[in-house]
Homo-oligomer: A and B are copies of this chain.
Amino acid sequence: MERRSGLDTDRVETLADGVFAIAMTLLVFAISVPELSGSALDRLPMSLLNLWPKLLAYVLSFVVLGVFWIGHHNQFFYIRRASRTFLWINILFLMFVAFIPFSAQLLGRYPGQRVAVILYGLNMIVVGLSLYLVWWYATSSHRLVDPDLNRATIGIATRRILSGPVAYAFAIVVSLLSVPAALVIIALVPLLYILPARIDRVLSGVRRS
């Protein structure tokens, strides 16, 4: 293996993958096995069915973590170098990512409460904005990317990253009028990122050239 530079991107990616893997795997621990005994055992199927809001929160949070993991992953396709400032921006991003299990558990416990929706939305906004910061810092003046990375690609990625925080801000505004409507928006935002999009044509084009 080649000697790596002390400020390369390898260990940032390892740290990020670790944080994402742990946050994803620990989500299930928010769902407790019901404690029943004796004649109450008959109610076990019903107790399990009643876990559905927590199950939904599990799926939603797993998918959201997947969205941000793929976003981070795709950025590092273009990023060639690191610097102390860049490492710290990534740690800031991971600090907000590692907070998602709390926000998700809050939303799963109190789906009808406006404050839970707002906090969840704010968490997503700061994750999205710090992911944008990673991208902005790396690409402005082509600081940490190849000099020939074209502006159009940078722009497509930027718009894609920023559409998340905008959608979550919209969900927060909607929550002031209707909490259920805001929940629907929150459940739909990840679809923006799951469906194949323009960025994929750019990524695969680069790969094939």
A residues whose Cβ falls under 8 Å from a Cβ of B: 1-7, 10-11, 13-15, 17-29, 31, 33, 41, 44-45, 48, 58-59, 62-63, 66, 69-70, 73-78, 80-81, 83-85, 87-88, 91, 94-95, 98-99, 101-102, 105-106, 109-110, 113, 115-116, 119, 194, 196-197, 200, 203-204, 206-207
Asked whether B204 lies within 8 Å of A7 as measured between CB atoms, the reply is yes
CA distance A197 to B83 in the complex (A): 11
Minimum Cβ distance to chain B for residue A65 (Å): 8
Asked whether B22 lies within 8 Å of A25 as measured between CB atoms, the reply is yes
A98: chain B residues within 8 A (beta carbon): 24-25, 27-28, 62
A28: chain B residues within 8 A (beta carbon): 98-99, 101-102
Task: Pick the residue among B15, B58, B81, B102 that contacts A21 (CB under 8 A).
Answer: B15
